[in-house]
Amino acid sequence: MPRRLIAVCCLLTAASGCSIKRMAVNQVASALASGGSTYEEDDDPDLVGAALPFGLKLMESLLAEAPRNPDLLMAASSGFTEYAYAFVEQPAAMSGESLDRRDAERARARRLYLRAHAYGMRGLDALHPGFAARADQDIAAALAVTRKRDVPLLYWTAASLGLGISSSKGDPEMVGRLPIVEALIGRVVELDETWSGGAVPEFLISLESSRPGLSKAEMLKRMKEHFDRAIELSKGARAGGYVSYAENACVAAQDASGFRSAIDRALAVDTEAKSENRLANLIAQRRARWLLAHIDDLFLEAAPPPQ
């Protein structure tokens, strides 16, 4: 990614004239958008967290020149979502700062999620002209034109809004947008549930806790089904599925033993086994260690650690 950013800056500096500059932007957009693997394989989450804002703002600068470039819109949607979750919302939740400060960071994360969602919708509209207008009237009809190639963009457009809703503390206006998330992720499931080796059912675990009108028993049943599918697809190589299940299902069920088991399995994931999962696994394991350290705050009667 750093090499791509340098190349972008050099090309744009050298380009003269609007059309040439636009051509340079479009030539490097795909390379820049696909450069996330450098970050995903990194073993230093703090380094990535410090570097990401520059990359995100550069993408926005490029989008000012090429506002309908789907590769850049996809990268912006995924990038802002991941940054907001891993480096804004989660650190705030795990910090010892004041409640006011944590609320301020949660509000900042929500704004970033909504920015990411807007980029995702723009990306879908760029790929399928008129999508945004149709989605305002009938999201299901709008989604009917999407294809398997659109799955990554559909996923991040759904995840960004879903995380924005979960960070809104029951804001009725935000909760009212939940059907949009359900429609988007539902289309992902139809097109390619296996995308990214378990990311889809992993997201669905947390989504179930936001659905209104579900009984606790039904919610837990669905979470278990999504969890089993996530582990099946990832072959146990993604720590996030274990952490999501522990935090959402086991806490809701007050199943401290199941919680410990899921957290232990998350911490046992080998971060070197699949380089494409390294950064995500390290971030999930950081969350897992924090949850384990606060088990007494999460359960009325915490299960003793295994002997």
- For 192-251, the pLDDT digits (tens) are 999 999 999 999 999 998 888 889 999 999 999 999 999 999 999 999 999 999 999 999
Q: Nearest-CA neighbor of 33 among 44, 66, 45, 49?
A: 66
**pLDDT on residue 1:** 47
The owner of tokens 């599918």 is 229
Q: What is the value of pTM for the model shown?
A: 0.90
84 within domain boundaries: yes
62, 25 in Cβ contact below 8 A? yes
Domain count, the chain: 1
Which tokens sit at 151?
A: 């799955």
Q: Nearest-CA neighbor of 81 among 280, 288, 277?
A: 280
Q: Which helix (H) or strand (E) holds 17?
A: none
**pLDDT on residue 19:** 62
Range of the domain at 114: 68-298
142 within domain boundaries: yes
Listed as ranges, residues in the chain with pLDDT below 50 are 1-4, 6, 8, 11, 15
| CATH classification at residue 287 | 1.25.40.920
100 within domain boundaries: yes
